[in-house]
Amino acid sequence: MCKWASWFICSISLLLVYDARALDTELKNLRWDWEVYNEKTGHYEPYFKQNKSKAIRFKLDLNKFQSSYLKLALSENYFVRIDGELVFANLEKTTHFWGLDSLKDVFEKDRLFITLYSAEFNEPLVGTSIVSIQAEDSISTNESVFLQKRTNGQLDKFIIISIVTLSLIALFRAFNFRLFREYFSFGKSLQLRQNFDLIIAHAPLSWPNLAFMLFYAILVGNTVMNIGLFQTESTFEIPMDLLQVGSISVGIMVCIICFVFMLGKLLLITLGTELFKINKVRVVHFFAYFRLSLIMALIMFSLSLINGIFGGVIVNEYWKLLQLIIVLAWTGRLVLMFFVLNKIYTFRKLHLFSYLCSSELIPLLLFFKIFLK
């Protein structure tokens, strides 16, 4: 009896092994395409066992292996991103099969970057390969539903963020129409002789101006959210520590940073005017800078709406050009501040240049280093 039981168990084991091998045939092992992010150089490098990284990525050519599948064998607590967007968390040891044709239909691209992240990344427990599958029906159906849910969720977030932001714009416009119109007067913001009728009637830290500072931070944060929903990892070099963080969380962090930054800008201008004994330029400098920044934030949010409507194509295809435009806008703001202060108040050019170096140029160079990294 024991002999027959042993033969039965062995037979079943062999059949299971045979079925597992028959289920998929490996066409390419993607292990040799793995890359890791080097924070020192800011670029991706080939993966080696000596690398102590929490994440790897690899390029997936959707045209080379048509009608095939991407096989991901993962242990628990692994996070998967496709073109920079977090798509799901793997909470238990499982194997996933994604059809390359389905991925191409959903993302509408010929090439994707897949990133795998885990706080305790263990190479032997991760398998990435291109396979062909005989029994396709159930797998194909499941993956299509998953990818469709992912696309719909992305679009839903974009619509909600956009509607909330547009509602806030309408709310602030109704809150104080004359103040809103003065803040968003593009013509006045570019004049050398800045004219503030209502804005300057309130102190920089008064409730109306604090509300517009918060509004500015929300505009920038929601712009980052909208762009992040459609970003691709091939466009942005994303630090590995941010792989788990979604675009919503990043946008909220940017919103908080921008609000604190604008308060810090006011403090920096205050200290600079005290140091150079030019207190009379303090209010004009801050409000001229803030008004132009607010208008730039509104323009960038409008561009993020257009980018989202076209599925992220604008930012992904023309990111370098957009970077150049943003850098030129920031530089133009610095030049405008020089002429505005020089037009209204007369003091030595060297004095003015020294003041602008401490309050404008040095912070701007730091932003350039971060933004263009």
Mean pLDDT of each 10-residue bin along the chain, 373 residues long: 40 37 71 83 78 83 84 84 78 81 82 86 84 58 45 75 93 89 89 80 86 94 88 51 63 92 89 78 87 94 90 78 89 87 66 73 75 62
The pair of three-digit structure tokens given for residue 116, joined into one six-digit string: 């795998």
| C-alpha span between 359 and 219 (Å, rounded) | 23
Q: How high is the pLDDT of residue 217?
A: 95
Residues in contact with 318: Cβ distance below 8 Å, sequence separation at least 6, in sequence order:
none
Long-range residue pairs from 34-43, CB within 8 A, at least 24 positions apart, any chain: 34/58, 34/128, 36/240, 37/237, 37/238, 37/239, 37/240, 39/239, 39/240, 42/237, 42/373, 43/237
Residue 88: beta bridge partners? 80
Three-state DSSP at 352 gives helix
| C-alpha span between 43 and 286 (Å, rounded) | 37
Reported as half-sphere exposure (CB side, CA atoms, 13 A), residue 186 has a value of 5
Residue 352 to residues 220, 273, 288, 356, Cα–Cα distance (Å) = 30, 10, 16, 6
Q: How high is the pLDDT of residue 240?
A: 44
| C-alpha span between 162 and 216 (Å, rounded) | 15
| C-alpha span between 190 and 188 (Å, rounded) | 5
Q: How high is the pLDDT of residue 176?
A: 85
DSSP 245: S
Q: How high is the pLDDT of residue 9?
A: 36
DSSP 192: S
Longest dimension (CA), the chain: 107
Reported as half-sphere exposure (CB side, CA atoms, 13 A), residue 42 has a value of 7
Q: How high is the pLDDT of residue 3?
A: 44
Q: How high is the pLDDT of residue 345?
A: 65
Q: How high is the pLDDT of residue 171?
A: 92
Where do the domains of the chain lie?
26-136, 154-371
